A and B are shown apart, each in its own frame.
Chain A
């Protein structure tokens, strides 16, 4: 029996080591695939090993063991198969909401662990119960918050829900939940019968607070929010790891908690905003409309724009989420390869918050086969625009909006942007004359060196490809 105990306990140690090693590998594109596979083996090992504890259960559990085992296998199969199928079939454009959904499930699982721990062990120290309840609170917020993030990103919930006194209302819900949590802890310690009711109300309050906290946040801020909830789930898992006396959960959870926090901070920095600002300000409110510069936009034919680029010496392409919506990444790369064949130096410039998630645009370009060494971060490429012939903006808007630099009244003021406006010539492929995701008007479109190419990105790029092909390769 003792040997089994050691195997179970050490499987967690092996898994934690493999997770950290795998995560380290994931920090470079060269070793990333190997990294996730290593982490995957660690996970498979620890999950299988955790079944060994059935040989070591206390007497009172044994009559329930067949049912428990059946439920465990059923839940693993159902959850694993459903998520595996979803994960394999989800289009890359829908990846952020999928990650949000999986993350929410992790938070829910942590909350469930806490709930069972509360049910199972009557009594216990204030500290132990306090940690259980805190982990449950964070897990619940992550669960319902991630579900809202999923609904928003998936287009199921278009507008942020806001009302007067919302912050006070949310604060009241939060404080009420915390009080219920404390009452749960006290009732549990004394073995009072009303503990179950308090716990039930506490969980309901925590889940409801997750909803309330997330509904007022605009869709443009969802990247930061998903990342934050990812860190939340990690933290909840770490705390429940303490409750279950399982160091593997503590280590894995806390590693993700701190890594997720770092990612969140990096992302918020890229938008020049603090996390509190994201969570508690009403960015992207629909009231900010059509303010700013007006005037004539110049429009140009796709073929003419393509010809200009064909004879340019350098082109920087700034893709945005609109490119992915139009499913035009493949076409774009075809166009880029033609330009490269004609001797044009082509680079991609990616804003840290391009897409619906940080790094999302890189994934979408990688899917189309664009090699990652053609893709540059904002900091690496921003000084090159001055000496670049053409900047081609496709389906991006706010990330090239110069009013972020100059206009203090603009809601995106202070956000670092790509200096597309400094290129000698700017082309913007855009569906229509509307504003961006944040609803802010863009003075770049009215600039002297900017021409608009109106139309669907896919159609426009097809025309550009034809135009360049027609020019031949001399």
Chain B
């Protein structure tokens, strides 16, 4: 990592801005999407797999390797599972506007 040191104060700035971002991005979400949104945000915190990968790749002892392995294993599960279920759920949400469109398609086809 090119970032070798970060003062805690800078970290606090990042945390604060990120927290506001999360709040603002989510605050107007309709409750109809709460489940996909929860699994979607679940997917996003799966980025921890990157941290676990760094930890595992720079491991020097057996204990580090074992714990790092499980870190990556769990992280990968979090990422993949979160993505797949979110994508599956979101693909099902359809407005009724598509129905008349389909009907007109059928009519024009026939």
Residues of A within 8 A of B (CB): 5-6, 8-9, 12, 15, 19-20, 22-24, 26-30, 32-33, 35-37, 39-40, 43, 46-47, 50-51, 53-54, 57-58, 60-61, 64-65, 67-69, 71-72, 74-84, 86-88, 90, 92, 95-96, 98-99, 101-103, 105-106, 108-110, 112-113, 115-117, 119-120, 127, 131, 226-227, 230, 233-234, 236-238, 240-242, 244-260, 262-263, 266-267, 270, 350, 352, 355, 357-360, 362-363, 366-367, 369, 371-375, 377
Contact = CB atoms under 8 A, between A and B. Distances in A.
Given A39-B44, A53-B58, A254-B22, 20 more contacts: A5-B1, A19-B47, A32-B93, A40-B43, A47-B79, A53-B57, A71-B65, A72-B68, A75-B73, A83-B77, A86-B81, A87-B81, A106-B42, A116-B55, A259-B41, A267-B34, A359-B36, A362-B32, A366-B93, A371-B97
Contact of B51 (A87, A244, A377): A244
A40 B25 CA distance: 18
Nearest to A62: B60
B6 to A, nearest CB: 5
A39 B40 contact: yes
B43 A43 contact: yes
A127 B8 CA distance: 8
Interface string B60-91: 11011101111111111111111111111111
Nearest to B16: A254
B14 A250 contact: yes
Contacts of A26: 29, 33, 36-37, 40, 86, 90
A372 B93 contact: yes
A366 B84 contact: no
Contact of A79 (B37, B58, B73): B73
A361 to B, nearest CB: 9
B101 to A, nearest CB: 12
Contacts of A27: 25-26, 28-30, 33, 37
Contacts of B99: 371
Interface residues of B, number: 89
A53 B25 contact: no
Nearest to A243: B51
Q: Is the interface of B mostly helix, strand, loop or mixed?
A: helix
13 contacts: A36-B87, A40-B43, A64-B60, A78-B73, A83-B84, A106-B75, A113-B55, A242-B6, A244-B54, A245-B5, A246-B51, A372-B94, A373-B97
Contacts of A102: 39, 42, 46, 77-78, 81-82, 85
A20 B15 CA distance: 14
A372 B19 CA distance: 30
B41 A99 contact: no
Nearest to B82: A102
Given A36-B40, A71-B69, A362-B35, A78 B76 contact: yes
The 4 closest A-B pairs by CB, nearest first: A112-B71, A79-B76, A359-B34, A87-B84
Residue among A69, A105, A352, A377 with max Cβ neighbours from chain B (10 Å) = A105
Contacts of B47: 15, 19, 43, 46, 237, 248-249, 252-253
A266 B64 CA distance: 40
Contact of A119 (B2, B41, B67, B83): B67
Nearest to A120: B64
Nearest to B50: A50
Contacts of A35: 40, 90
A242 B65 contact: no
A354 to B, nearest CB: 10
A30 B55 CA distance: 39
A256 B44 contact: yes
Contacts of B70: 75, 108-109, 112
Contacts of B108: none
Contact of B32 (A24, A29, A67): A29
Contacts of A33: 87, 90-91
A262 B28 CA distance: 11
A103 B18 CA distance: 20
Nearest to B27: A262
B90 to A, nearest CB: 4
B31 interface: yes
Contacts of A37: 87
Contacts of A96: 35
Nearest to A19: B44
A255 B69 CA distance: 26
Residue among A47, A102, A120 with max Cβ neighbours from chain B (10 Å) = A102
B21 interface: yes
Contacts of B1: 5, 8-9, 53, 244-246
A260 to B, nearest CB: 6
